[in-house]
Amino acid sequence: MSATRIRVLVPGKINQRVIDRLAERFEVVRIESADPVPVSAQMQDVRAIAVSGRVPAALMDALPQLEIIANFGVGYDGVEVGHAAAKGITVSNTPDVLTEEVADTAIGLLLNTLRQLPQAEQWLRRGRWSREGAFPLSPLSLRGRTVGLYGLGRIGLAIAKRLEAFGVSIAYHTRSPREGLAYAYHPTLAGLAAAVDTLVVIVPGTEVTQRTVNDEVLSALGSNGVLINVGRGSTVDEPALIKALRTGVIAGAGLDVFENEPQVPEALMALPNVSLLPHVASASVATRNAMADLVADNIAAWFETGKALTPVPETPFTRRGA
């Protein structure tokens, strides 16, 4: 089948390389956002969506010929995947190509949080080193820590491998233990938090993981405790975290993701014991290019071979008639 005239909808902003790659073979239709749902004759024969953001059920319902949604990102919490599965629409994501980059960033964020490296650089840049002397010693250190991973999938494992080289103890919580690993498994998140002093969140944002890092988990982590979140903001109860950081229930936090991005609570920004990044864990040119290619290649493969390259587990479909 020729793919040249197939119409692909792109709601909202996306990496330019996705547009350039798709435009080589498809007709790309851009709209500002998925809300409100577009109503136009053009929508009647849209067969694919490429997206970095939300695809609500209503958008799927407005596109009668929709076959595939290619998500820019390994996490696809913005796509109502249950609705897509029920309608026989395939959803693809971008696993593996970003794993090492995100793991690198997680380690950087962990060190920044513990050793206050961004604050130390500001001390130098603002002339305080020459005026006032040495930057104060960091109260926290990675030395002697026990790190718990909440999530030990592709990225969690890549973080754990890096942590091994730092000589820290490693434990984890997932729904089912991974075979063949020497890390201590904890069947509950609260149990993991009680056993470690550093908790790294790298689970998907789902209804089940929502706000699971709550008062109880933060209390269990303890007053020397540090929380690092590179998964999704929805997994952490942000007001509970702010309270815990303010009152010394835990010692510090490093966050790349937030509940209501790009809004970050003033109360969080005002805290001295946090290191904050604007969702940049995969944000290098090379990694974002690889993600963009995988989005375009998923759509091309779907129409050429009848199978997406990296469909999500909920939609293991092949194309009708392929």
Token pair for 195: 């056993």
Q: Residue 52 binds what, of ligand 8YV, ligand NAP, none (CB under 5 to 8 Å, by partner type)?
A: ligand 8YV
Cβ–Cβ under 8 Å, residues 110 and 83: no
Q: What is the DSSP string of 216-251?
A: HHHHHH-TT-EEEE-S-GGGB-HHHHHHHHHHTSSS
* 98 touching ligand 8YV, by CB under 6 A: yes
* 311 touching ligand NAP, by CB under 6 A: no
* 228 touching ligand 8YV, by CB under 6 A: no
Closest residue to bound ligand NAP by CB: 153
Give me the numbers of helices (H) and strands (E) for the chain, helices first please: 12, 12
Q: How many CB atoms lie within 10 A of CB 264?
A: 16
To the nearest whole angstrom, how small is the minimum distance from the Cβ of residue 73 to ligand 8YV?
A: 2
Is 25 tagged catalytic? no
Cis? peptide before 313, omega within 30° of 0: no
- Region at 58 (left for phi over 0; alpha for psi -120 to 50; beta for the rest): alpha
Any idea what the Cα angle at residue 94 is, between residues 92 and 95, rounded to 5°?
110
For residues 227 to 246, the per-residue mask of contacts with ligand NAP, x marking binding by CB under 6 A and - elsewhere, is ---xxx--------------
To the nearest whole angstrom, how small is the minimum distance from the Cβ of residue 286 to ligand NAP?
A: 15
Q: Which of 173, 232, 238, 259 is catalytic?
A: 232
The interface region with ligand 8YV, picked from 19-27, 32-40, 69-77, 299-307 by CB under 6 A, is: 69-77
Backbone angles phi, psi at 293, to 5 degrees: -60, -40
Q: Which of residues 3-42 bind ligand NAP (CB under 6 A)?
A: none
Cβ closest to ligand 8YV, residue 186 vs residue 232: 232
* 202 touching ligand NAP, by CB under 6 A: yes
Which residues of the chain form contacts with ligand NAP (CB under 6 A)? 74-75, 95, 98, 102, 151-156, 173-176, 202-205, 208-209, 230-232, 256-257, 279, 281-282
